Amino acid sequence: MVASDYDERFSRLHLLLQDEGLDRLQAARVMVLGLGGVGSSCAEALARGGIGHLMLVDRDIIEASNINRQALAFTSTIGRSKTSVMEAMVHAINPECKVMTAQTFLNQENIESVLSGFPRPDYVIDCIDTISPKLMVAQWCMDHKLPLIASMGGGNKLDPSFLKFDLIENTRYCPLSKAIRRECRRRGIGQLEVLYTDEEPVKIDHQASCLKKETLGTMSYFPPIMGQMLAGKVIRRLVGFESYSVRPIPLSRG
């Protein structure tokens, strides 16, 4: 891509950020974990926002049920890996963005090798929707002294005006936050910053089902808004418009 193309592509950003801000974003390395409704929109916004290096992790294949909310889900992409489709989308937005991917599910055995196999990120964004990997990511970021922000649950929620950033200790009305909060206390993880909603969830008549697809409804707009908010928070901090949050620190036990 010639310089004039790059300049035109990010000209509206340049009005706000100037050369210094764009240079910071182009040099920044951001890791996005999970490319579902939240993560795919987050990665897209980061690419459109001028981030120069993206590290993307997800194990899933795109399914038809993803189409209502995921930026990478189209009829034409069903059956393809989310990482490969997201990488192609990022390069279609900004061919100069350096993208690294891992198509895997993070677990206790591989989290260190997978995440440490990437260059050290300037920021980690956790968009995973299951409890165990989220806790492992929080622990890994704490051990490596990396800034982290994590999405909490958006299932069965309707109104994005309830979304807010806060520490996990202050969350309420969010079942995922409750589980993460309890485990953070047990494991000694403190100062974990999250995006969550304190809107009371819609009650679903699931008839004792424990399947996520039968118990968690998702509005088309809700996860993408969460992803955009996460990307915006990180971009503002990388540029210097906002101060960094406190990194996760050990809590005293007992």
Structural domains in the chain, sorted by start: 15-239 (3.40.50.720)
- In the prediction, which pLDDT does 253 show? 33
Specify the higher pLDDT residue, 214 or 138: 138
DSSP string, 79-104: TSBHHHHHHHHHHHH-TT-EEEEE--
DSSP state of 137: H
What is the mean predicted confidence (pLDDT) over 60-72? 97
What is the mean predicted confidence (pLDDT) over 52-79? 97
What are residue 189's DSSP bridge partners?
250
Rounded to whole angstroms, the Cα distance separating 184 from 192 reads 8
What is the mean predicted confidence (pLDDT) over 15-34? 96
How would residue 248 be classed by pLDDT, with cut points 50, 70 and 90?
very low
pTM as predicted: 0.92
What is the mean predicted confidence (pLDDT) over 33-55? 98
pLDDT digits (tens, 9 = 90+) for 144-203: 999 999 999 898 999 999 999 999 999 988 889 999 999 999 999 988 999 999 998 888
Backbone angles phi, psi at 189, to 5 degrees: -100, 120
DSSP string, 11-32: HHHHHHHHHHHHHHHHH-EEEE
Whether the pLDDT of residue 90 is over 80: the answer is yes
- In the prediction, which pLDDT does 212 show? 58
Backbone angles phi, psi at 227, to 5 degrees: -60, -40
